[in-house]
A and B are shown apart, each in its own frame.
Chain A
């Protein structure tokens, strides 16, 4: 490490870039701390999922930007962009699966929900399933009685 890095000239462009990247690093680390506090204090799975996305998206963005600012080369930015875009693509997938499994296994406080758009879909599917089962039972009964009359 050159001495210029250890004692940066704050008046120059280098010093300003160092300052911005230092702020990015501290704020990005605070995102992780916020996620941990949210995990410890929030009451149920869905609200903990809200806290857990902070370091995964904004925290990673700030830290990757601080890498790009510190390296001071242009070719590293596309790699950092790839890392962030893949994070943006994969985080919703896992959040969707975890949220769906959490809804199905009833790990949520219903009194904290302001709207439950999935409930209508679930009730409709359950109603269709019950109707199909009733029709199948009726058909089986008729079939059985028909067999009995012909015998």
Chain B
């Protein structure tokens, strides 16, 4: 049963990662790309969790903890320094 679950989740995660990568490639703004990269990181962490659960080892557990602790720094940094180079249509 576990091998069937592994195959099913591998297909699902592949489709999800493909969708996130498509959004990274054609996202209209920088923030869309950052958000899609965050989702891709979450998908990677989920795939590590599936690998640990199916094969019953804990080799990647510290990596998952580290991802959950410091994974937000990239998007926070990009969002802090993103600038608007267009005209301001809603300024009063």
Question: A interface vs B, CB < 8 Å?
Answer: 1, 5-6, 8, 18-19, 21-22, 25-26, 28-33, 35-37, 39-40, 45, 48-49, 52, 55-56, 59-60, 63-64, 66-67, 69-71, 76, 79-80, 82-84, 86-87, 90-91, 93-94, 97-98, 100-102, 104-107, 110, 123, 126
Contacts and interface: CB of A to CB of B under 8 A. Distances in A.
Contacts of A39: 19-20, 23, 35-36, 39
Nearest to A127: B92
B9 A84 contact: no
Nearest to B21: A36
> What are the nearest 5 A-B pairs in CB distance?
A36-B19, A63-B49, A94-B72, A97-B79, A32-B16
Given A32-B16, A40-B23, A91 B72 contact: yes
A86 B45 CA distance: 14
B38 to A, nearest CB: 6
A36 B39 contact: yes
A35 B1 contact: no
A86 B76 contact: no
Interface string B33-65: 011101100110110011011111010010011
Contacts, number: 185
Chain B interface: which size bin? Answer: 35 or more
A49 B39 CA distance: 10
B29 A18 contact: no
Contacts of A29: 8-9, 12-13, 16, 46, 50
B2 A18 contact: yes
Provide the main secondary structure of the chain A interface. Answer: helix
Contact of B72 (A35, A45, A93, A126): A93
A36 B16 contact: yes
Given A29-B13, A90-B68, A55 B53 contact: no
A101 B75 CA distance: 11
B60 to A, nearest CB: 10
Contacts of A71: 56, 58
B67 to A, nearest CB: 8
